[in-house]
Structure formats: C-alpha cells, structure tokens
A = this chain, B = another copy of it.
Amino acid sequence: MTSRPPAVVLLSGGLDSATCLAIARSEGFAPYALSFRYGQRHAPELAAAGRVAAALGAERHVVASIDLGLFGGSALTADIDVPKDRDGEEIARGIPITYVPARNAVFLTFALAWAEVLGAFDLFVGVNALDYSGYPDCRPEFVSAFEAMANLATRAGVEGAGRFRVRAPLLSMTKAEIIRTGLALGVDYGLTLSCYDPSTEGAPCLRCDACHLRARGFRDAGVPDPALQQAGRT
C-alpha cells in the first residue's frame, strides 16, 4: 500500500520518458507506467521500457496493444525507410516521415482512460518542444488543448472529483538538460533505447534522427552515453 497519489507516465523506453518517470517519482507520485505496442518497427524499445519501469520503481507497467499501423502513413509503422544521417538542420526542418499520425493524442487518451480507472489526475508525458524534431503533438499548445479536452471527456471531470493535468516537465529543456536532470535523479540511461531503427537485439543504428539527437545531447551534457559504453561502441 502506498499513500502517494497515483500518476500515469507514458514510457517509451527512450531517454526522455525514463527521465519523466524519474521526475514523477521525485515529485511524490506513485508512477503507473504505460507503453504501447502500436505496430512500430522498434519493438526492442518495449524491452527497454520494462527495464526502466522496474529500475525506477513503477507501481505497475502495462503495455497496451494498439493498431496505428492499420492506417499506415509513417516510417515508424509502415513500410517506408527511416531516414538516416540527416544533420541538425535537416532534423529541425519540418515534420519528418517518422511522424506517426496523432500518436501522442492516442497515447494520452489511453493514459487518461487508465488514470480515470486508477483515480489519478496527473498524466506525465516526456514531450519536448526544443528537440522535438518537428512533431506537432510535442508542442505546448497541444498539451494545453489535450488537458482541456481531458477534463470534459471524463466522469471525473463531470463529477468534479479533480482536474486532470498533463505534466510535460521536459517541454522546454534541451536534451543535455534532460540528461543532467535524469542523472541527478538516478536514471541509468544504459537501460534506455532511443533508436527508431534498432537491430532485433536492440542495438541502436546510430544513424537515425533519434540516435543523432541523443548523441548530441550526451555530447552537450559532457557525459558519455552508458548505452554505447555497454555496447562497446565508444
């Protein structure tokens, strides 16, 4: 039994969401971690999510199966190549092909459904507006609009038991700041996987946008990436 209030934390197995889980715990919440099997290429990230949830003391870790691949339209779910070796400027420009239509909206509504069952009012999501790689659903306007919708969509909203808050603590951090924050909270980034196109064993490709952004983050933070050290790749 715990007297900490529950919070649902979206957990991809990547660096950002692992940090977000650590922040939720440090703020006194009992974190319930939620991951998705959504037809993505990078299923090894679910193994990473399980490792992170266990290491950071999540109350529960649930993997929901959803079917975004059914609609196609993204390199992460459809049969389209993940772009490789783009420089920072290319990454920053426009919405990439790895964008999954309405993904964060779908993930957050699942988080909302679970929160309602748990009696939780706080939804943690590791979206980030600076390094956001052009995803529209990583912007602060989206986060606010989702919160407004959540409070009208639910029994808790109608009955006035509380107000849902979408908590996006990484929103205005740089990748380096996220890494420093996580390290201070004891996150082992060696457990995380950021790559869009890993090997079946879960080794990062080191060439996709996510790998490039992660490498730059560790470089800017002035610390080595433990995931690369473990793989003997530094």
Which chain B residues lie closer than 8 Å to A153 at the CB level?
Answer: 102, 104-105, 136-137, 142, 145-146
Query: Bound complex: CA of A225 vs CA of B50, how far in Å?
Result: 51
**SS of A interface (majority):** helix
Q: Is the CB of A145 within 8 A of B142?
A: no
**Number of copies of this protein chain within its complex:** 2
Q: Is A155 an interface residue (CB 8 A)?
A: yes
Partner of A155, one of B66, B72, B136: B136
Partner of A116, one of B70, B73, B149: B73
Q: Do A71 and B150 contact each other (CB < 8 Å), given the known contacts A64-B66, A109-B102, A158-B136?
A: no
Contact bitstring A118-157, B, C-beta under 8 A = 1, else 0: 0000000000000000001101011001101110111101
Q: Is A231 an interface residue (CB 8 A)?
A: no
Q: Is A86 an interface residue (CB 8 A)?
A: no
Most buried by B among A104, A105, A112, A139: A105
Query: Bound complex: CA of A158 vs CA of B53, how far in Å?
Result: 33
Q: Is A1 an interface residue (CB 8 A)?
A: no
Q: Is A113 an interface residue (CB 8 A)?
A: yes
Which chain B residues lie closer than 8 Å to A148 at the CB level?
Answer: 145, 148-149
